[in-house]
Amino acid sequence: MAVPTAHRDQAPDPQSGLAARQAIRSGRHRGPTSGLAPGYVQGNLVILPKDVAADFQRFCELNPKPCPLIGTAVPGDWRIPALGEDLDIRTDIPRYRVWKHGELVAEPDNLNEVWRDDLVSFIIGCSFSFEEALMADGIEIRHIACGCNVPMYRTSVATAASGAFHGPMVVSMRPMSPADAIRAIEITARFPAVHGAPVHIGKPEQIGIRDLAKPDYGDAVPVGDDEIPVFWACGVTPQSVIAAAKPAFCITHYPGSMLVTDRKNSEFAVT
Amino acid sequence: MAVPTAHRDQAPDPQSGLAARQAIRSGRHRGPTSGLAPGYVQGNLVILPKDVAADFQRFCELNPKPCPLIGTAVPGDWRIPALGEDLDIRTDIPRYRVWKHGELVAEPDNLNEVWRDDLVSFIIGCSFSFEEALMADGIEIRHIACGCNVPMYRTSVATAASGAFHGPMVVSMRPMSPADAIRAIEITARFPAVHGAPVHIGKPEQIGIRDLAKPDYGDAVPVGDDEIPVFWACGVTPQSVIAAAKPAFCITHYPGSMLVTDRKNSEFAVT
């Protein structure tokens, strides 16, 4: 008796990373990727010409907390097989930003017009992964509860420089009760590939943050007197560093429009 | 050619738990056990009559952070084979405290005169184990740097009651920089058998502590403006609970004079 078999052209699980990328590629999904493919890792994109790519890769390796590299492509290649079956970095993100000498020059829906054979793609882990683990433990994520962006701050903490890439670390902040802060440290320490444990707690002024109500990126969120601000190294750091380095050419994702991968958040937990 | 073999009556490694217990039993070592047998687990002692022992065991199981049980003896038995070769709980601790109906009645060097066939011994993990791991990571332990006892506080946090055993959790406090506090949470979370991760950070008033400079047990230590107080559940909790429960008969170790075991601190780390 014949047993039904899976076909190569069978539609993927609609909640999978592959289905999300197919929806984006075909134009069926536009806009932010938050909430797409629950449980799958989303990543920040940086694309640089080969002549500065090695310096940037070393920058990431020197600064693994703000810049946890989860995937790198071969120069000129739009595929990143380690992160997804049938992945095409030119088409699988809803919106991109193209930069020349530090100036934003375009925000296209795909990279078909601007792709070059000398471009190297880097994918950097994102806090969506650890936020899922925190919420699964019952911890409230304030900016999600408030329906806004996470507040982010430029700090007085310098990153380790590599070539033209240098500048301050950017952190994201989530206010929590002391008990939740302890749990959050325990949980995020298990996710080194997506920023890992916090870099600071409780004393904003020690890392050069003067006013929690005035973030440099994202939105301010309320912090209760009974709460502690908890600071994680943030994936906006490489964008801030690239803006200062002003490379001749660069592509990043449009804020909030991430690469959805085939990797599961749970795979990124170390035991 | 004959190869030298180890003899049963060969002297143990002088830095081992066994050597420490033999030195204590023979009277060669008296006083606090701090610094003896580096790397070996030390434990708090509680001995209770069989008729209340089950309630106390359940109390420990309900409150694993302040009362992490690392060994239990058979009623009437002075051996705890899981914790040490040749271990005799009647003689292997430098000094004991004997209590009747909550009153301290004696502080003997051994239990030979007071031992009874209905006594059940419990050994509870101690913060010496995790302090060793913190110092190995380069974190300063303030009370050790100051050469005094750790400050301990009765909190407004209730333990889960079992029979006559109930009362507030006692915590120990170690002030740290924010970065060290984060590392300390990551490290001690790996040691659930010796109090585990902190129970509170940063806001003493939230757990009923009015003045850090006035600990209920131990000694006050300086806390810098740039530091955060970090609170761990403390092994003094069972002693405080027993003092309130006033059992007809009870034996504990004399403060600072612990049971040195054959188990290594590193064995207690979960990965």
Residue A255 pLDDT more than 90? no
B65 contact residues in A (CB cutoff 8 A): none
Residue B6 pLDDT more than 60? no
Q: Is A163 on the interface with B (CB under 8 A)?
A: no
Question: What pLDDT shows up at residue B148?
Answer: 87
Q: Tell me the per-residue pLDDT of B18-32, one tens digit each, with 9 for 90 and over.
A: 999 999 999 999 988
B9 inside domain: no
| H-helix or E-strand spanning residue B142 | helix B142-146
Question: What pLDDT shows up at residue A141?
Answer: 95
CATH number for position A66: 3.40.1640.10
To the nearest whole Å, the CA of B202 is away from the closest chain A CA by 7
Q: Tell me the per-residue pLDDT of B131-165, one tens digit each, with 9 for 90 and over.
A: 999 999 999 999 999 988 899 999 999 999 999 99
B177 inside domain: yes
H helices of A151-229, in order, are 178-188
Q: Tell me the per-residue pLDDT of A68-115, one tens digit each, with 9 for 90 and over.
A: 999 999 999 999 999 998 999 999 999 999 999 999 999 999 999 999
Question: What pLDDT shows up at residue A193?
Answer: 86
Judgement on whether residues B103 and B139 belong to the same structural domain of the protein:
no
Compare all CA atoms of chain A with the CA of B187 and give the residue at the minimum distance: A186
Residue B108 pLDDT more than 60? yes
How long, in residues, is chain B? 271
Structural domains in chain B (count):
2
Question: What pLDDT shows up at residue B9?
Answer: 58
B1 inside domain: no
Judgement on whether residues B243 and B230 belong to the same structural domain of the protein:
no
Residue B33 pLDDT more than 50? yes
Compare all CA atoms of chain A with the CA of B186 and give the residue at the minimum distance: A186
Angle (nearest 5°) at CA A190 between A187 and A191: 105
Question: Which one of B186, B201, B203 has the shortest CB-CB distance to A197?
Answer: B186
A233 contact residues in B (CB cutoff 8 A): none
Cβ neighbour number for residue A107 with a 10 Å cutoff: 11
* Chosen from A157, A173, A201 to mutate, greatest number of chain B CBs within 10 A: A201
B185 contact residues in A (CB cutoff 8 A): 182, 185-186, 189, 197
Judgement on whether residues B21 and B122 belong to the same structural domain of the protein:
yes
Question: What pLDDT shows up at residue B256?
Answer: 85
Judgement on whether residues A93 and A49 belong to the same structural domain of the protein:
yes
Q: Tell me the per-residue pLDDT of B161-194, one tens digit each, with 9 for 90 and over.
A: 999 999 999 999 999 999 999 999 999 999 988 8
A135 inside domain: no
Q: Give the count of Cβ contacts less than 8 A between chain A and B.
A: 58
The reply to whether residue B202 touches residue A228, judged by beta carbons under 8 angstroms, is yes
Q: Is B24 on the interface with A (CB under 8 A)?
A: no
Judgement on whether residues B261 and B193 belong to the same structural domain of the protein:
no
Question: What pLDDT shows up at residue B224?
Answer: 96
Judgement on whether residues B146 and B204 belong to the same structural domain of the protein:
yes
The reply to whether residue A201 touches residue B189, judged by beta carbons under 8 angstroms, is no
Distance CA B68, CA B123 (A): 8
To the nearest whole Å, the CA of B124 is away from the closest chain A CA by 23
B228 contact residues in A (CB cutoff 8 A): 201-203
B226 contact residues in A (CB cutoff 8 A): 203, 206
Question: What pLDDT shows up at residue A7?
Answer: 47
Residue B199 pLDDT more than 60? yes
Question: What pLDDT shows up at residue A256?
Answer: 85
Judgement on whether residues A218 and A159 belong to the same structural domain of the protein:
yes
Confidence of residue B79 (pLDDT cuts 50, 70, 90): very high
Pairing of strands A96-100, A250-253: antiparallel
Judgement on whether residues B174 and B83 belong to the same structural domain of the protein:
no
Choice between B82 and A271, residue whose per-residue pLDDT is larger: B82
Relative orientation angle of helices B178-188 and B128-136, to the nearest 10 degrees: 120
Give the sheet arrangement for strand A168-176, strand by strand: A152-158, A168-176, A228-233, A200-201
To the nearest whole Å, the CA of B178 is away from the closest chain A CA by 6
- Which of B219, B228, B128 is CA-nearest to residue B175? B228
CATH number for position B223: 3.30.2040.10
Judgement on whether residues B243 and B119 belong to the same structural domain of the protein:
yes
Distance CA B63, CA B69 (A): 10
* Chosen from B186, B191, B225, B226 to mutate, greatest number of chain A CBs within 10 A: B186
Distance CA A208, CA A153 (A): 9
A185 contact residues in B (CB cutoff 8 A): 182, 185-186, 189, 197
Question: What pLDDT shows up at residue B1?
Answer: 40
Contact B199, B265 (CB under 8 A): no
Q: Tell me the per-residue pLDDT of A167-182, one tens digit each, with 9 for 90 and over.
A: 999 999 999 999 999 9
Could you say which residues from 219 to 258 on chain B have a Cβ atom under 8 Å away from some Cβ of chain A?
Answer: 226, 228
Residue B45 pLDDT more than 70? yes
Choice between A44 and A269, residue whose per-residue pLDDT is larger: A44
Reported pTM = 0.84
A203 contact residues in B (CB cutoff 8 A): 178, 226, 228
To the nearest whole Å, the CA of A232 is away from the closest chain B CA by 11
Percent of chain A with pLDDT over 70: 96
Question: What pLDDT shows up at residue B11?
Answer: 76
Question: What pLDDT shows up at residue A10?
Answer: 67
The reply to whether residue B197 touches residue A189, judged by beta carbons under 8 angstroms, is no
The reply to whether residue B197 touches residue A186, judged by beta carbons under 8 angstroms, is yes
Q: Which domain holds residue A114?
A: 39-127+243-268
- Which of B264, B261, B267 is CA-nearest to residue B21? B261
B186 contact residues in A (CB cutoff 8 A): 185-186, 189, 197
Question: Look-up: residue for tokens 């107080």?
Answer: B229
The reply to whether residue A182 touches residue B202, judged by beta carbons under 8 angstroms, is no
Residue A2 pLDDT more than 70? no
B203 contact residues in A (CB cutoff 8 A): 178, 226, 228
Distance CA A93, CA A253 (A): 7
Judgement on whether residues B231 and B155 belong to the same structural domain of the protein:
yes
A84 inside domain: yes
A47 inside domain: yes
* Chosen from B65, B130, B201 to mutate, greatest number of chain A CBs within 10 A: B201
A6 inside domain: no
Judgement on whether residues A119 and A60 belong to the same structural domain of the protein:
yes
Confidence of residue A5 (pLDDT cuts 50, 70, 90): very low
B84 inside domain: yes
Pairing of strands B103-106, B96-100: antiparallel
Question: What pLDDT shows up at residue B206?
Answer: 97
Q: Tell me the per-residue pLDDT of B208-261, one tens digit each, with 9 for 90 and over.
A: 999 999 999 989 999 999 999 999 999 889 988 998 899 999 999 998 899 999
Q: Is B179 on the interface with A (CB under 8 A)?
A: yes
Q: Is A76 on the interface with B (CB under 8 A)?
A: no
Confidence of residue A9 (pLDDT cuts 50, 70, 90): low
Judgement on whether residues B105 and B122 belong to the same structural domain of the protein:
yes
Question: What pLDDT shows up at residue A35?
Answer: 83
Q: Tell me the per-residue pLDDT of A60-69, one tens digit each, with 9 for 90 and over.
A: 999 999 999 9
B47-68: buried (b, 16+ CB within 10 Å) or exposed (e) per residue? bbbeebbebbbebbeebebbbb
A178 contact residues in B (CB cutoff 8 A): 200-203, 206
Could you say which residues from 93 to 132 on chain B have a Cβ atom under 8 Å away from some Cβ of chain A?
Answer: none
